[in-house]
Copies of this chain bind each other. A is one copy, B any other.
């Protein structure tokens, strides 16, 4: 994990008159230990591997704190779960493409998209702050070759495709 992230949270904590605690440090580390998106429960799982004694409530509270501090963003991948994305620090305006076939999520940036959305927003009389673009698409490889390499990987990993319930 980038040390700068720790500093950013510390800054936020200081600015808001909050406290640095061991729990917050561990939860932060857990949240940024991977590039993958995660749910609250995922994060609790990671945290419990590092140190078992942290409560679910604290994880939820720290999650809200990290979102508030701008370190994390909630994203909607369409699978009915509240998902957190730790990659907005590195790529502040990235977008998501979700493969309908395998559930794989591709993150991508595109300056043209950003620019165009900016123009459209201004034309509507607003000053753009942030945009959220999700593209759902089919895997072209699956259509051409009859199989999607990611589909197999996804199944092996036991990850859910779409709907949870």
Contacts and interface: CB of A to CB of B under 8 A. Distances in A.
A108 B120 contact: yes
Give the interface size bracket for A toward B.
20 to 34
A141 B116 contact: no
Contact of A135 (B76, B117, B134): B117
A69 interface: no
Q: Chain A binding site: helix, strand, loop or mixed by DSSP? A: strand
Given A97-B126, A100-B129, A121 B141 contact: no
Given A97-B124, A120-B108, A126-B99, A135 B131 contact: yes
Contact of A124 (B100, B106, B124): B106
Contacts of A130: 135-136
Given A97-B121, A132-B133, A140 B127 contact: yes
Given A132-B133, A133-B131, A134-B131, A139 B116 contact: no
Contacts of A116: 110, 112-113, 116
Contacts of A100: 129
Interface of A: 76, 97, 99-100, 106, 108, 110, 112-113, 116-117, 120-122, 124-141, 143
Closest 4 A-B residue pairs measured CB to CB?
A126-B137, A127-B138, A132-B134, A76-B76
24 contacts: A76-B76, A97-B121, A97-B126, A99-B126, A106-B126, A108-B120, A108-B124, A112-B116, A112-B120, A113-B116, A113-B117, A116-B116, A122-B140, A125-B140, A126-B135, A126-B138, A126-B139, A126-B140, A127-B137, A129-B136, A131-B135, A131-B136, A132-B132, A133-B133
